[in-house]
C-alpha cells in the first residue's frame, strides 16, 4: 500500500512539474510572438507611412506646409535665400511626399545637373547591393578583384587595402596628388586604416563591382539600382579615370527616399537595411563624422577634405543630430533626417566659394529649414 502511495505521489509530482514547464514555455512563446508581432506592426506602420512615386511615371504625390502644420511664414525667406545663393533646384520630401519643389535661374524639372561627390553614395550603395547578391565582400582585399599593381605602393602595403578602406576613405594613399587614379598616382603614405583622407581612389570600387559582376559599371548600376527606383541619369567621364553622375532633381530625390526607407522601394528590398545602417554610422575611429561616403551629423568631431586637422563639434550645428548627408562639390546636397522623416535636395552652383563638401552654406540653409519645419 505504501508503495502505491509513493508511486502515485511521484506520478502526481512529475505530471505537475511537466505541466508547469509546458505552461512556462507556452507563456514564453506567447511573449516572443507578441514581441515579434509588435516589431512587424511597427515595420508595417513605417512602410505604410512612407510614400513611393511610381517607377514608370512622373506622378508624385504632394502634401502642404499647412497640412504638416509647419511655419508658412518661413517659406518665402527660405526661397529667397536659395535664389540668392546660386541654387538651381530644391526639394523637400516628408514621408516621401513632396512639400516643396522649386527651380531657379531658368533650371527646370527636366534639366540634368551634376551630383559631384554626392554621387559617391551611389557608388557605396551599389557596392552594398553587390555584397547582398554575394558578388563581393567589403572586407576582401581590393587586389582580390583588380589584381596586384593597381597602386604604386609596395606589394605588402597594397595587399592590406580592403574595399571597406575605400568606402571609409582610409586607404592610406596620398590624397595630395590630384584626381588621377592611375597606379603611378596612387602612392603610399600610411598603412590602410590608420589615416583618413578624402580621396578619389574610392572610384576603384566601381572597377571592383564591374569585375565581381562580370559586367561594366554603368550597366550593373542601371540594372541593380537606377532602374529599380525610377531614376534617370547617366555617368559621364570627367577624365583621369573618374566619372560623375548627372540627373534631374527628382532622380536625386528618389535615391534619397530609397535610403531614407532603409533600402526598400515599396515591397522591393533594393539594398539591405543592415548595409545602410553600417554605411550611415561611423566607419573608422579617425573621422567620426564619416560613414561609407555618407557624412554624419551629431558627432563630437569631424574631419574635412584636404586637411588632417580634426574639428570639434557637430558637422552642421543647426541641423538635427541624426541627419546624414551626401555632399558634393559646389553645394550639391542630399540631407536625410530620420527623426523628421525628411529628405532634402539642393542642386546648383556654389553658394559662395567653390568647395569640396561641407561649406558655411549648410548651416545657414539649415537655419532656414528649421524655421520652416518648427
Question: Could you tell me the three cell numbers for 152?
Answer: 604604386
Question: Could you tell me the three cell numbers for 264?
Answer: 526598400
Q: Do 218 and 340 lie in a common domain?
A: yes
Backbone angles phi, psi at 217, to 5 degrees: -55, -50
DSSP label at residue 173: B
Q: Do 30 and 164 lie in a common domain?
A: no
Beta bridge partners of residue 236, listed in sequence order: 244
Q: Do 43 and 81 lie in a common domain?
A: no
Q: Do 185 and 265 lie in a common domain?
A: yes
**73 falls within a domain:** yes
Which of 6, 32, 53 is the last residue before a domain boundary? 53
Q: Do 184 and 47 lie in a common domain?
A: no
Q: Do 112 and 185 lie in a common domain?
A: yes
pLDDT for position 358: 82
Q: Do 162 and 233 lie in a common domain?
A: yes
Cα 82 from Cα 75, distance rounded (Å):
11
pLDDT for position 239: 84
Q: How many Cα atoms within 13 Å fall on the side-chain side of residue 121?
A: 30
pLDDT for position 240: 81
**331 falls within a domain:** yes
DSSP label at residue 230: T
With beta carbons less than 8 A apart as the criterion, state whether 323 and 297 touch: yes
With beta carbons less than 8 A apart as the criterion, state whether 132 and 140 touch: no
pLDDT for position 277: 98
Domain total in the chain: 2
Question: Could you tell me the three cell numbers for 116?
Answer: 559631384
Cα 222 from Cα 54, distance rounded (Å):
17
**16 falls within a domain:** no
**249 falls within a domain:** yes
The pLDDT tens digits for 171-229 are 999 999 999 999 999 999 999 999 999 999 999 999 999 999 999 999 999 999 999 99
The residues of the chain scoring below 50 in pLDDT are: 1-48
| Containing structural domain, residue 268 | 65-373
Q: Do 44 and 71 lie in a common domain?
A: no
Question: Could you tell me the three cell numbers for 7?
Answer: 508511486
User: The domain spanning residue 346 has which CATH number?
Assistant: 3.40.710.10
With beta carbons less than 8 A apart as the criterion, state whether 372 and 78 touch: yes
**19 falls within a domain:** no
Q: Using alpha carbons only, give the angle 100, 103, 109 rounded to the nearest 5 degrees.
A: 90
**339 falls within a domain:** yes
pLDDT for position 29: 30
Output the pTM of the full model.
0.87
Other CB atoms within 10 Å distance of the CB of residue 140: 15
Q: Do 158 and 72 lie in a common domain?
A: yes
Classify the C-alpha dihedral 354-355-359-361 as positive or negative.
positive
Q: Do 153 and 292 lie in a common domain?
A: yes
**199 falls within a domain:** yes
Other CB atoms within 10 Å distance of the CB of residue 338: 13
Which residue from 242, 120, 146, 240 is spatially nearest to 184, judged by alpha carbons? 240
pLDDT for position 353: 77
Q: Do 195 and 49 lie in a common domain?
A: no
Cα 150 from Cα 45, distance rounded (Å):
47
**254 falls within a domain:** yes
Q: Do 199 and 127 lie in a common domain?
A: yes
Residues contacting 255, CB < 8 A, separation 6+: 121, 122, 125, 229, 231, 334
Amino acid at each position: 500500500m505504501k508503495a502505491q502511495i509513493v508511486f502515485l505521489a511521484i506520478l502526481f509530482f512529475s505530471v505537475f512539474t511537466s505541466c508547469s514547464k509546458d505552461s512556462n514555455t507556452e507563456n514564453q512563446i506567447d511573449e516572443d510572438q507578441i514581441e515579434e508581432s509588435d516589431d512587424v506592426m511597427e515595420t508595417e506602420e513605417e512602410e505604410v507611412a512612407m510614400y513611393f512615386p511610381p517607377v514608370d511615371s512622373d506622378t508624385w504625390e504632394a502634401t502642404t506646409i499647412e497640412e504638416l502644420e509647419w511655419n508658412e511664414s518661413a517659406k518665402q525667406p527660405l526661397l529667397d535665400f536659395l535664389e540668392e545663393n546660386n541654387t538651381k533646384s530644391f526639394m523637400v520630401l516628408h514621408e516621401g511626399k513632396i512639400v516643396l519643389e522649386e527651380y531657379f535661374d531658368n533650371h527646370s524639372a527636366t534639366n540634368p545637373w551634376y551630383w559631384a561627390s554626392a554621387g559617391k553614395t551611389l557608388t557605396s550603395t551599389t557596392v552594398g547591393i553587390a555584397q547582398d547578391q554575394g558578388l563581393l565582400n567589403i572586407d576582401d582585399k581590393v587586389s582580390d578583384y583588380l589584381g596586384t599593381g593597381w597602386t604604386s605602393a609596395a606589394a605588402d602595403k597594397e595587399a592590406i587595402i580592403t574595399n571597406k578602406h575605400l568606402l571609409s576613405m582610409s586607404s592610406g594613399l596620398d590624397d595630395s596628388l590630384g584626381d588621377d587614379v592611375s597606379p603611378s598616382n596612387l602612392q603610399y603614405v600610411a598603412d590602410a586604416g590608420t589615416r583618413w583622407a578624402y580621396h578619389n581612389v574610392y572610384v576603384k570600387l566601381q572597377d571592383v563591382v564591374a569585375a565581381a559582376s562580370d559586367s561594366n559599371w554603368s550597366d550593373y548600376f542601371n540594372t541593380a539600382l537606377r532602374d529599380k527606383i525610377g531614376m534617370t541619369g547617366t555617368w559621364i567621364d570627367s577624365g583621369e579615370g573618374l566619372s560623375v553622375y548627372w540627373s534631374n532633381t527628382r532622380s536625386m530625390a528618389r535615391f534619397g527616399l530609397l535610403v531614407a526607407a532603409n533600402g526598400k522601394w515599396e515591397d522591393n528590398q533594393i539594398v539591405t537595411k543592415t548595409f545602410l545602417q553600417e554605411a550611415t554610422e561611423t566607419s573608422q575611429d579617425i573621422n567620426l563624422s564619416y560613414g561609407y561616403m555618407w557624412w554624419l551629423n551629431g558627432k563630437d568631431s569631424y574631419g574635412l577634405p584636404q586637411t588632417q586637422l580634426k574639428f570639434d563639434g557637430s558637422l552642421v550645428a543647426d541641423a538635427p543630430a541624426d541627419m546624414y548627408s551626401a555632399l558634393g562639390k559646389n553645394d550639391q546636397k542630399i540631407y536625410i533626417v530620420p527623426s523628421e522623416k525628411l529628405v532634402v535636395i539642393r542642386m546648383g552652383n556654389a553658394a559662395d566659394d567653390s568647395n569640396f563638401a561641407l561649406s558655411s552654406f549648410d548651416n545657414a540653409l539649415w537655419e532656414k529649414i528649421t524655421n520652416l519645419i518648427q
